Amino acid sequence: MSARPIARLVPRRSFLALAGGAAFLAACSRNSAASIDTVPTRGLPSGAPPPGTKLAISIHTSQLQLADSGLDKQLPFTVSSWPNLTAGPDVIQGFRAHSIDLASNAGIPPIQAEAIKVGARIVAVQTRDHPIYSFATAPGSGDAIASAKDFRGKKIGFSQGQAQGVVVLRALKEAGLRNSDVQLIALPSTQFLTALQSKQVDVAPLAEPSLTKYLGQYGKDGARAVATDVVDLLAILWAPTEVLNDDAKVAAIRSFIPLWAKGLVWAWENTDQWIQSYYVKDQGVSAAAGRRIVSSLEQPQFPRSWDKAIAWEQETADLMAEGGFVPKIKAETLFDRRFEGLAARAVPAKYQVAS
């Protein structure tokens, strides 16, 4: 039986507690010089990265997409490792420990990093127009929770430093509920499934394929998925500012971003192969479930301008600040606009959007 997660109500300004507890504090205690607050204003270096350049890249889906498509043969540098870390607090730990040079997350972790003075910048942007999270309910809930309005008084899994946390805040706001109308239970998203199974929380946001696997096991016991209109707009690549001050690594990142975008397009255009490679072999869901998940997705899109992304990031940072979770943050400073449009220019026009 899985150990039950330690859950607790979220106090205001509880960022460090939600960012990974003691392990995160240990990472932060390392050499403070690891965090450089600024990035160069000069243009991106031209040409291939120097021989021997290495990057540790925490983007598991790209690892599979580049290998399956053959795009990995175009990498002009060495990938020293592919750490399989997806939660924002874990990636920040990796940044501070110098074990990750480039990662993929939603737009929230860079806000978290800025709030706790970890230097990092966004270097690539993918946007979405449709929700990717649903709210899963605990076994036995049945139809008692049919919409976000039914969240009043309920215990909700909440990881404020991750996309799931802001999805909760936006869903409450759209339902006309205050944060104080519910119980926000502080948990990293990696513990949401266990917390739902043990009924430590009544509701938690899940994305695919976790949602399909959870409902496949507990749907017969009354677990349900509650849909909302909340869109998590951004998927981003980001890197520590110390990496962005290393011209060799910057050249490697510049060369990687187009391949990242092309890998996403390849997965969209080769769905049968991607379903088998990722959903079936890697994630352990059935081919039928993989097809259903893929059919619910929208094609990847990459903005030529980051203006809309920056505006959304600012709105999100303001929402978190209003809740007392972070100080006021100027979102534009989180983006390294030297890389703006690089991903969009690498893909066919139908995968590009203006902003």
Same domain, 197 and 245: no
Q: Which two tokens stand for residue 147?
A: 């919409």
Same domain, 222 and 240: no
Average pLDDT (74-91) is 94
Same domain, 205 and 77: no
Q: Tell me whether residue 214 is in a domain.
A: yes
Same domain, 305 and 346: yes
Q: Tell me whether residue 73 is in a domain.
A: yes
What is the rounded distance in angstroms from the CA atom of residue 323 to the CA atom of residue 301?
31
Q: Is residue 6 over pLDDT 60?
A: no
Contact present, 78 and 54 (Cβ < 8 Å): yes
Same domain, 170 and 281: no
β pairing state of 183-186 and 155-158: parallel
Shortest CA distance to 261 belongs to which of 345, 354, 175, 143?
A: 345
pLDDT in tens, 12-40: 444 444 444 433 433 443 343 344 578 88
Q: By residue range, what is the domain housing residue 170? A: 133-226
Crossing angle between the packed helical segments 163-174 and 307-322, to the nearest 10 degrees: 80
Shortest CA distance to 120 belongs to which of 93, 143, 157?
A: 93
Q: Tell me whether residue 177 is in a domain.
A: yes
Please provide the DSSP assignment of 262-277 as one string. HHHHHHHH-HHHHIII
Domain boundary among 189, 208, 226: 226
CA angle (273 as vertex; 267, 276 as ends), nearest 5: 110
Question: Domain count of the chain?
Answer: 2
- State residue 34's pLDDT score: 40
Name 260's Cβ contacts closer than 8 Å, sequence gap at least 6: 59, 62, 124, 237, 343
Same domain, 114 and 250: yes
Of 24-33, 242-251, 316-325, give the lowest mean pLDDT range. Answer: 24-33
pLDDT in tens, 274-283: 999 999 999 9
Domain boundary among 197, 226, 255: 226
Q: Tell me whether residue 29 is in a domain.
A: no
Same domain, 144 and 285: no
Same domain, 240 and 334: yes
3-state secondary structure 160-225: CCCHHHHHHHHHHHHCCCCHHHCEEEECCHHHHHHHHHCCCCCEEEEECCHHHHHHHHHHHHCCCE
Q: Tell me whether residue 6 is in a domain.
A: no
- State residue 19's pLDDT score: 44
What is the rounded distance in angstroms from the CA atom of residue 336 to the CA atom of residue 173?
30
Cβ atoms within 10 Å of 315's Cβ, excluding its own: 14
Categorize the per-residue pLDDT at 10 as very low, low, confident or very high, splitting at 50, 70 and 90: low
Q: Tell me whether residue 40 is in a domain.
A: no
Q: Is residue 8 over pLDDT 70?
A: no
Classify 241 as helix, strand or coil. helix
Same domain, 108 and 154: no
Same domain, 152 and 102: no
Q: How many helices (H) and strands (E) does the chain have?
A: 14, 13
Same domain, 164 and 121: no
Phi, psi (degrees; rounded to nearest 5) at 9: -65, 145
Same domain, 336 and 215: no
Q: What is the CATH number of the domain that holds 161?
A: 3.40.190.10
Q: Tell me whether residue 41 is in a domain.
A: no
What is the rounded distance in angstroms from the CA atom of residue 86 to the CA atom of residue 108?
12
Beta strand ranges found along the chain (DSSP E): 8-9, 54-58, 78-81, 102-106, 120-127, 133-137, 155-158, 183-186, 203-207, 225-226, 234-240, 302-303, 352-353
Q: Tell me whether residue 12 is in a domain.
A: no
Domain boundary among 226, 261, 279: 226
pLDDT in tens, 133-181: 999 999 998 889 999 999 999 999 998 778 888 899 999 999 999 999 9
Q: Is residue 205 over pLDDT 90?
A: yes
The torsion angle over the Cα atoms of residues 323, 325, 330 and 331, rounded to 10 degrees, is: -90
Phi, psi (degrees; rounded to nearest 5) at 237: -105, 140
- State residue 163's pLDDT score: 83
Phi, psi (degrees; rounded to nearest 5) at 49: -60, 150
